[in-house]
């Protein structure tokens, strides 16, 4: 017994125990080219695209000694934004070094979860036009309003409409009898900074004559006295959207109440006409394409991705000049053995993002607001968990 | 709301109300990037109730802690995206101003 014990002791002396955290790092391997391609590119073959999924699991390449996790430091180093185009109404920019799940989250928030103001309630006093009340109300709802929604609060079911949650517009249009037909456009929507002018029906009008007559809203102050609206009055974004057409003798008189809401309730509250992204196309020439074949290739592409460059002695060679314009129509790999010459790919972590604003907020503000909303969601989960 | 057992806190399902793919898919990404996570996934049990279930299984740490860290990571990523984006927009605008001045000269 004792001899055995001494034996094991001797063994452990030979191989001293090293705690795992003092072991040297496993040498980091490199992914073989085909796995690297699989990880970073979508390959668009003739029949169908392959490698469309993202490898997210941090240990996916552990067997090869490659760490697939994206630490915050690494993310900060890799992530880039490049603005391509920025106008009042739309913008295009590149998000580089970000996962599709995040890019998609921003897109979804832009479309469905950023609040704006839109007409929700329409009180129709008179409508003798051919367009029905409900259709008219629906049309009014879809008119984009130029007003910063961050200055307003949501109105819940039991709230009384006040100057903080409601914007009131009036529309009174008439077509003269005997005249010609007229068109009602959005510039006839007049903002009422003092709230509704329609009186609320009360049981006995006589008794409360002395007090201020009750209307459909109860504003404590005029909205145009507020500093944020006194300089830029609230109005529809475009003055020339057609609301209705009136025949001689027809009339529309109504009041429209706009409230704050989100795109997931109704698309009229969506602050973007569209927000979308696409992955950056990458066109690779697998072999030199020269001579007639080069000219054929240039002619094949409908958006002129390829150019011909003259190399010495008048030999013509095809070159990829504008891969960004590629629509991945796959025309260039159709027929014969073109797939051996051209490879169409998309870069998985390079997104060309486009935002078209409806006008309430400029597109760059919309994007920052969208990112903020995702942050708020995380914060909510954190507080709920702790 | 967390569903799990007290004996083994390394596995749990979290049921988040009023959330959808937007948050769940981003969280799945950040969770997957955490080496402590052995499995994670999410599902929306029914499209007409606003709820997602996120399943997290770890190598030993409490699942709720790991999820919290992932949320923190996602938040920091968002903050970085925002500051980078703002800077890119400012740079772009400045460049446009410079270009406009060049034309006048
Ligand atoms: S896929 Fe279509 S657009 Fe793209 S390079 Fe080929 S032919 Fe041109």
CA–CA min distance A344, chain B (Å): 27
Contact A378 B19 (CB under 8 A): no
The ligand 1 atom at the shortest distance from the C-alpha of residue A44 is 1
Nearest atom (ligand 1) to Cα of A327: 3
* Mutational test site, ligand 1, from A302, A329, A341, max ligand atoms within 8 Å of CB: A329
Average pLDDT, chain B: 90
Contacts of A262 in chain B (CB under 8 A): none
> Mean of the pLDDT values across residues A147-169?
90
For residue A368, list chain B residues with Cβ-Cβ distance below 8 A. 82, 85-86
- Residues of chain B in contact with residue A76, where contact means CB-CB under 8 angstroms, are 80
Contact assignment for A378 to B79 by CB distance below 8 Å: no
A142 contacts A120 by C-beta, under 8 angstroms: no
A42 Cα to chain B: minimum distance (Å): 18
Look at the domain A116-269 and name its fold.
RNA Polymerase Alpha Subunit; Chain A, domain 2 (2.170.120)
Dihedral-angle region of residue A31 (phi above 0 means left; psi in -120 to 50 means alpha; beta otherwise): beta
In ligand 1, which atom is closest to the CA atom of A306?
5
**Ligand 1 neighbours by CB, cut-off 6 Å:** A 283, 300-301, 303, 305, 326-332, 344
Does the pLDDT of residue B68 top 80, yes or no? yes
Tell me the pTM.
Answer: 0.87
Per-residue confidence band for A12, with pLDDT thresholds at 50, 70 and 90: very low
- Lowest-pLDDT range of A183-187, A202-206, B69-73: A202-206
What is the CA(A340)–ligand 1 centre distance, in A? 15
What value does the mean pLDDT take over residues A141-148?
94
Given a contact cutoff of 8 angstroms between Cβ atoms, the answer to whether A141 and A118 are in contact is yes
Q: What residue spans define the domains of chain A?
A: 116-269
Query: For chain A, what is the mean pLDDT?
Result: 87
Q: Which tens digit of pLDDT belongs to each residue from A115-138?
A: 999 999 999 999 999 999 999 999
**pLDDT above 70 for A28:** no
Are B23 and A386 within 8 A, CB to CB?
Answer: no
> In whole angstroms, how far apart are CA A262 and each of A112, A258, A357?
6, 13, 15
Burial of A20 (0-12, 13-18, 19+ CB in 10 A): exposed
Q: Do A378 and B84 touch (CB under 8 A)?
A: no
Give me the mean pLDDT over the B48-70 stretch.
92
Q: Which residues of B touch A72 (CB under 8 A)?
A: 73, 76-77, 80
Both ends of chain A: CA-CA distance in Å?
Answer: 55
In this complex, is the C-beta atom of B47 within 8 Å of any C-beta atom belonging to chain A? Answer: no
Strands (E), chain A: 41-44, 49-50, 80-86, 90-96, 115-127, 145-146, 167-174, 182-185, 190-191, 235-236, 242-246, 251-262, 272-285, 306-311, 315-320, 342-357
For ligand 1, atom 7: residue with the closest CA: A301
What is the average pLDDT across A248-255? 94
Lowest mean pLDDT among A40-54, A159-173, A201-215: A201-215
- Position A46 scores a pLDDT of 87
Burial of A33 (0-12, 13-18, 19+ CB in 10 A): exposed
Average pLDDT, integer, range B14-36: 92
pLDDT score for A32: 82
**Quick one: pLDDT band at residue A212, thresholds 50, 70, 90?**
low
Nearest CA in chain B to A384: B1
């Amino acid at each position: 017994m004792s001899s055995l014990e001494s034996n094991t002791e001797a063994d452990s002396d030979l191989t001293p125990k090293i705690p795992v955290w003092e072991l040297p790092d496993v040498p980091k391997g490199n992914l073989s080219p085909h796995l690297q391609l699989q990880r970073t590119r979508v390959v668009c073959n003739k029949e169908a695209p392959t490698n469309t999924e993202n490898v997210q699991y941090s240990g996916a390449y552990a067997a090869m000694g490659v760490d697939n996790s994206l630490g915050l430091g690494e993310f900060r180093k890799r992530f880039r934004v490049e603005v391509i185009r920025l106008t009042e109404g739309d913008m295009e920019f590149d998000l580089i070094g970000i996962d599709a799940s995040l890019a998609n989250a921003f897109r979804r928030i832009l479309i469905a979860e950023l609040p704006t103001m839109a007409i929700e309630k329409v009180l129709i006093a008179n409508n003798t036009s051919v367009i029905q009340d409900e259709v008219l109300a629906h049309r009014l709802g879809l008119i984009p309003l130029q007003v910063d929604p961050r200055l307003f609060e949501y109105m819940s079911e039991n709230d009384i409409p006040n100057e903080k949650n409601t914007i009131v517009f009036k529309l009174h249009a008439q077509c003269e009898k005997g005249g010609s037909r007229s068109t009602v456009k959005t510039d006839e929507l007049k903002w009422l900074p003092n709230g509704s002018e329609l009186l609320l029906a009360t049981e006995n009008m006589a008794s409360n004559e002395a007090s201020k007559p009750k209307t459909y809203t109860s504003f404590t102050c005029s909205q145009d006295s507020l500093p944020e609206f006194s300089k830029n009055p609230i109005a529809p974004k475009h003055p020339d959207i057609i609301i209705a057409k009136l025949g001689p003798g027809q009339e529309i008189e109504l009041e429209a109440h706009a409230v704050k809401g989100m795109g997931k309730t109704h698309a009229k509250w969506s602050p973007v006409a569209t927000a979308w992204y696409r992955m950056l196309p990458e066109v690779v020439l697998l072999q030199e394409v020269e001579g007639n074949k080069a000219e054929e290739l240039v002619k094949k592409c409908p958006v002129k991705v390829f150019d011909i460059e003259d190399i010495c002695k008048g030999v013509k060679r095809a070159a990829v000049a504008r891969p960004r314009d590629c629509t991945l129509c796959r025309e260039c790999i159709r027929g014969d053995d073109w797939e051996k010459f051209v490879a169409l790919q998309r870069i998985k972590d390079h997104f060309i993002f486009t935002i078209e604003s409806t006008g309430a907020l400029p597109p760059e503000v919309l994007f920052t607001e969208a990112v903020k909303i995702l942050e708020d969601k995380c914060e909510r989960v954190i507080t709920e968990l702790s | 709301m967390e569903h799990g057992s007290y004996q083994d806190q390394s596995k749990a399902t979290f049921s988040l109300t009023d959330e959808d793919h937007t948050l769940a898919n981003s969280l799945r990404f950040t969770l997957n990037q955490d080496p402590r996570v052995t499995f994670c996934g999410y599902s929306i049990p029914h499209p007409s109730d606003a709820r997602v279930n996120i399943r997290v299984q770890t190598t030993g740490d409490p699942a709720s802690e790991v999820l919290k860290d992932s949320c923190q990571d996602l938040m920091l990523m968002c903050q970085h995206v925002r500051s980078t984006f703002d800077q890119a927009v400012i740079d772009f605008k400045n460049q446009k101003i410079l270009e406009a001045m060049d034309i006048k000269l």
